[in-house]
Structure 1
Amino acid sequence: MGKDSGLDAILAELKPFGKYNIVNYALLLFPIYLAGMYGSVFVFEAPDINYRCNIPQCEGLNDSDWLEYAIPQEKNGLSKCEMYQEATNSSNTCKIDDFNRSVVVKCHEYVYSEEYSVVKDFNLGCQNWKRTLIGTVHNAGLFVSLPLTGIISDKYGRKLALSIASLMNGLFGFIRSFSTGYVMMLVFEFLEAGLGAGAYSTAFVIAMELVGPKGRVFGNTLINGVYVMGLMSLASFSWWLQSWRFLLRLIYIPAIFVVSYYWILNESIRWLLSKGRYQEAAAIIQKAAKINKVKLSEEVLSPLYELEKLNVPENKENRANDVSVEKEPSNFMKVIKSSIIRKRVAICSFLWITCTFVYYGLSINSVSLAGNKYVNFMLVAFVEIPANIVCLLVLDRFGRKRVLIITYVLSACLCISLSFLPKDQKWLSLVLYLSGKFSITVAYSSVYIYVSEVFPTNVRQSLLAVCSSLGRVGSTLAPLTPLLTLYYDNLPAIFFGSLALVASVLVFSLPETINVPLPDTVEEAERLSKKKNRTGSI
């Protein structure tokens, strides 16, 4: 019996959600709740606000009738970036004759509304690329944080990686709230995400390794529900505070306290076993059994004792002196040499790109829908709760592959159909929009579980981090999608749908992992695909 099957048997006896796991999940859900706010905070840091050209000779007048002959009209009201040229014979008294309405010129200065935004604080009027770049820079930081945190997690332990990442979140997020200029904000936006965004993936991996196969989907649903609470809290706090600086201080300070998890949280048993630290793993298992008031049978514990015997100093010395035993290649080299794992990494990365691009794209563009932007954002976030409940109900019943294919296709159809709706159908547009977010959320949740199931324990977080990092191409590009509406209102939705269709086709080439024990080695991970080939199942 291998380490994985032995541990899963022990976890089954301990029960997936006994008191020990409930306490650990409660601890892990706090950084996940915070991550829900951090992942989309740029939406409320740099929202597009109302502004117009500054007309010096007209400002301060009691009436606003002059706006009609000083600033041209556009489809959504007064132009934000243009004004009529001042007439050559202007009396500089703000009369209709003072403006040449046949010539339109660009603004030099702007008058901003009373709304709070980086746009106003750093004078970013009519520089939409600078506004959207904030979100892009934030998500670009994930290219650094996820692999870095993954390496720390797989080499030095999950709880160390979680503690460091949370400290970086809190520190750089708090400093960012005091930004005195646009460049300073971009720097700390990148550093906060670049060194801290791995907190979510680390907490997720610990949670997935905490339970056996039967508890993974429920655990994932719980995690996603708390993440959604973070998203909704972000919109609520922003609506309440009406200040991006106060918002950052409120949400980032709590992350610093997660550093204490290094001393409070128990290390992942599965990670300890993968590192040959059987004594520590056994001590935690016994502690969990005591907390859960469960007496583990000798039959279940015996594989762990056998592994511990193999790890005693004299046996390790004997194996080192045995010239007949060839040195095993490193886990990383095994992954590089495995064509099956390489292909799996590439496809899973594309699935992740699709999920992040559509998921974040729909969330970001929701604030431009008709109605209150805070309510719209909360609605688009709230729809994830029923989506995760559906995920809980269908994943273990129909399998990972079938659910992924159906939800990708459904998301594509819903997004593309938005482009065929008349503009006056606002409520129907909102329903389709929410339905599209619903389906991509089910796909995103499924991908997170699926990727954690197809890679071996000793490189699981590293490969999950690779897929997630490459997948962040989608979330990095998503903040730029509002710019597409300048060319065609529904162009973002068409992009979302097209990418989802391609992803649905690629899922067919992957193995099914429903109720399969987590693979511990590269060989076990490869066997998932070989099993599929023998049985012909999807």
Structure 2
Amino acid sequence: MSKDVGLDAVLQELGYFGKYNIVNYALLLFPVYLAGMYGSAFVFEASDINYRCNITECEGVNNNTWLKHAIPLKDGELSKCKRYQHYNYTGSCSIGDFNTSVKEECHSFVYSDEDSAVKDFDLGCQNWKRTLVGSAHNAGLFLSLPLTGVISDRYGRKLALAVASLMNGVFGFLRSFSSSYIMMLVFEFLEAGLGAGAYSTAFVIAMELVGPKGRVFGNTLLNGVYVMGLITLSALAWWLQSWRNLLRVIYIPAMFVISYYWILNESVRWLISKGRNTEAAAILKKAAKMNRVELSDEVLSPLYELEKLNTDTNNEKTKDELECKVEEKTESNFMKVIKSSIIRKRLVICSFLWITCTFVYYGLSINSVSLAGNKYVNFMLVSFVEIPANFVCLLVLDRFGRKKVLIITYVLSACLCIGLSFLPKDQKWLSLVLYLSGKFSITVAYSSVYIYVSEVFPTNVRQSLLAVCSSLGRVGSTLAPMTPLLNHYYHNLPAIFFGSMALVASILVFSLPETINVALPDTVEEAERLSHSRSKKEPA
């Protein structure tokens, strides 16, 4: 319906980034910034720290020289999980007190002064429990994204954003008071399960706020602010050195986003898709006034004609009958999507592209803290490289198209990640360069996928289908926290997995349509036509 009233033409007259757009984007950037911190908080919340076996027979001896007799070495350092058998205590804890030919599992641990949930909940040598914290968070997205998508498409974008952000703040703050591992895990899931849709909702509002020419710049802006959230997270974790205080500092601000329900303008495109054309026209007039642009009656008149048609219908039918009609129409639109083989195929491929992006993107971020050097600095570097990557998106997506960029960046990510496995361990700087380059290329791909998925599905189910892709894509981000466990089998096994996934994704992109400079499709039929014809050029 939005095409019928020429919304993209209206947005072009308003200007892609006038005062109205800037004010609304400024409001949207705040929850996006917070989302950057929330998506990776578990990296520092349950970070791996130094610990060793608690040698009960010797802990009271002041001289720690006995450690080398009691605990075997692994990679030049004291083993975290093994100890030598103790069989003859002389009181001095000498080498003669231990049988160095027999190694035993540790049952209790001595932790370093570092702060982590690993220490608080005694998770020593239970790496699966430590990595499960991140998986529980990302598993929550399977619930959050579809739920937020339904709320957003049915009741409005700003309501979905306000509620999701409030859930982030409440459950994230409560998690900082966890008194047990299970309690932390439950709140980890609930915080993401009810609040992680805030970012996708802010993204959809931002994409619907501007015309085709403004989408890539808007996406670059959002991603840049998201990265600043990641860097801030690492800096705060380094400064506070307390995972509980870190959670309190970053989650309290999210509770204020509930105010957006009253101060943020609803998406005009969503209002029109719901037949609320008078409200849409009022917001467009407000935008025109702020941007100091005069909209012609010719542009706005279709809105009022449609509203008059709706009003005449209202005079003939009761409110209950109209509500039934709206629900039937909504159901009909969704059924059309399900019945369309073209859209179903597109949905499956886009979901796999998303799985690949989240698996590689989060996997590289999470594994960065295990690289040689300061874990906080490494995380900042791996995060910071996303800023130039997003600017590359700005330069290349509107010039070369979505498909070429996706294919090239997926192939590049595959080559760089797999290349890591051929480097010797002593090449630390070269490994870091390849690592950062891999993160750079997958970030370009991830940003491109976000834009691409928002362009290939119709308006009235756009966020719902974007949520389906993103939710299925969270299979990747749910598995990503587990990838450090692969290091125990082969040091570069995670990188090989990342590269293989990216290579398959690059092949699948060939079967998708190009969407450069194409108006957002508003119906299933328009979305299907993207696969049958060359992109329709929009006015510059």
TM range (shorter): over 0.9
Say whether 1:225 aligns with 2:224: yes
Say whether 1:423 aligns with 2:422: no
Q: CA deviation at 1:63?
A: 3.0
For 2:269 and 2:74, the matched residues in 1 are separated by: 60
For 1:215 and 1:67, the matched residues in 2 are separated by: 63
Secondary structure of the 1:69 match is: helix
For 1:515 and 1:134, the matched residues in 2 are separated by: 41
For 1:187 and 1:318, the matched residues in 2 are separated by: 47
Q: CA deviation at 1:84?
A: 0.7
Q: Given the two structures, how large is their TM-score scaled by the length of structure 2? A: 0.95
For 1:49 and 1:302, the matched residues in 2 are separated by: 65
Superposition map of 1:83-98 within 5 A = 83-87=83-87, 89-98=88-97
Map of 2:15 onto structure 1: 15
For 2:266 and 2:504, the matched residues in 1 are separated by: 39
Q: CA deviation at 1:315?
A: 7.2
Q: Which amino acid aligns with 1:67?
A: L
Superposition map of 1:106-505 within 5 A = 106-314=105-313, 317=316, 330-505=332-507
Contact map agreement 1:170 1:253 (CA 8 A) in 2: yes
Q: Which amino acid aligns with 1:75?
A: D
Q: CA deviation at 1:204?
A: 0.4
Q: CA deviation at 1:222?
A: 0.1
Q: Give a deviation string over 1:28-63, Cα, whole Å, max 9, x none.
A: 000000000000000000111100011123224443
For 1:171 and 1:462, the matched residues in 2 are separated by: 25
Task: List alignment gaps of at least 5 residues for structure 1.
Answer: 322-326
For 1:534 and 1:311, the matched residues in 2 are separated by: 31
Contact map agreement 2:207 2:215 (CA 8 A) in 1: yes
RMSD in angstroms over aligned alpha carbons?
1.8
Q: CA deviation at 1:106?
A: 0.8
Q: Which amino acid aligns with 1:100?
A: N
Q: Which amino acid aligns with 2:188?
A: E
Q: Which amino acid aligns with 1:509?
A: S
Q: Which amino acid aligns with 2:298?
A: E
For 2:265 and 2:189, the matched residues in 1 are separated by: 30
Q: Give a deviation string over 1:96-120, Cα, whole Å, max 9, x none.
A: 2111111111111100000001110
Distance 1:95 1:2, change over 3 A: closer
For 1:34 and 1:497, the matched residues in 2 are separated by: 30
Q: Which amino acid aligns with 1:16?
A: Y
Q: Which amino acid aligns with 2:43?
A: V
Q: Give a deviation string over 1:328-366, Cα, whole Å, max 9, x none.
A: 671111111111110110000000000000000000000
Q: CA deviation at 1:295?
A: 0.6
Secondary structure of the 2:100 match is: strand
Superposition map of 1:509-524 within 5 A = 509-524=511-526
Secondary structure of the 2:64 match is: coil
Q: Which amino acid aligns with 2:31?
A: P
For 1:258 and 1:267, the matched residues in 2 are separated by: 15
Q: Given the two structures, how large is their TM-score scaled by the length of structure 1? A: 0.96
Map of 2:33 onto structure 1: 33
Contact map agreement 2:2 2:269 (CA 8 A) in 1: no
Q: Give a deviation string over 1:143-195, Cα, whole Å, max 9, x none.
A: 00000000000000000000110010000000000000000000000000000
Map of 1:104 onto structure 2: 103
Secondary structure of the 1:85 match is: strand
Secondary structure of the 2:470 match is: helix
State the aligned residue count: 529
Q: CA deviation at 1:71?
A: 0.4
Contact map agreement 1:5 1:517 (CA 8 A) in 2: no
Contact map agreement 1:352 1:468 (CA 8 A) in 2: yes
Contact map agreement 2:20 2:287 (CA 8 A) in 1: yes
For 1:381 and 1:310, the matched residues in 2 are separated by: 51
For 2:292 and 2:535, the matched residues in 1 are separated by: 43
Distance 1:533 1:398, change over 3 A: closer
Deviates further, 377-386 or 284-293: 284-293
Say whether 1:66 aligns with 2:43: no
Q: Which amino acid aligns with 2:128?
A: W
Deviates further, 302-311 or 381-390: 302-311
Q: Which amino acid aligns with 1:451?
A: V
For 1:379 and 1:5, the matched residues in 2 are separated by: 46
Secondary structure of the 1:3 match is: coil
Contact map agreement 1:4 1:519 (CA 8 A) in 2: no
Contact map agreement 2:2 2:273 (CA 8 A) in 1: no
Q: Which amino acid aligns with 1:335?
A: V
For 2:474 and 2:181, the matched residues in 1 are separated by: 23
For 1:119 and 1:157, the matched residues in 2 are separated by: 41
Map of 1:324 onto structure 2: none
Secondary structure of the 1:13 match is: helix
Stretches of 4+ moved more than 4 A in 1? 318-321, 532-535
For 1:337 and 1:532, the matched residues in 2 are separated by: 24
Map of 1:80 onto structure 2: 80
Contact map agreement 2:139 2:189 (CA 8 A) in 1: yes
For 1:415 and 1:295, the matched residues in 2 are separated by: 52
For 2:47 and 2:4, the matched residues in 1 are separated by: 48
Deviates further, 308-317 or 361-370: 308-317
Contact map agreement 1:225 1:384 (CA 8 A) in 2: yes
Q: Which amino acid aligns with 1:261?
A: Y
Contact map agreement 1:2 1:303 (CA 8 A) in 2: no
Secondary structure of the 2:85 match is: strand
Secondary structure of the 1:517 match is: coil
Distance 1:2 1:267, change over 3 A: closer
For 1:375 and 1:493, the matched residues in 2 are separated by: 20
Q: Give a deviation string over 1:196-234, Cα, whole Å, max 9, x none.
A: 000000000000000000100000000000000000000
Distance 1:164 1:533, change over 3 A: closer
Secondary structure of the 1:509 match is: coil
Q: CA deviation at 1:530?
A: 1.4
Secondary structure of the 1:104 match is: strand
Deviates further, 292-301 or 411-420: 292-301
Distance 1:316 1:213, change over 3 A: farther
Distance 1:190 1:390, change over 3 A: same
Q: CA deviation at 1:307?
A: 2.3
Q: CA deviation at 1:91?
A: 2.4
For 1:79 and 1:524, the matched residues in 2 are separated by: 61
Identity score, percent: 80
Q: CA deviation at 1:5?
A: 6.6
For 1:271 and 1:76, the matched residues in 2 are separated by: 60
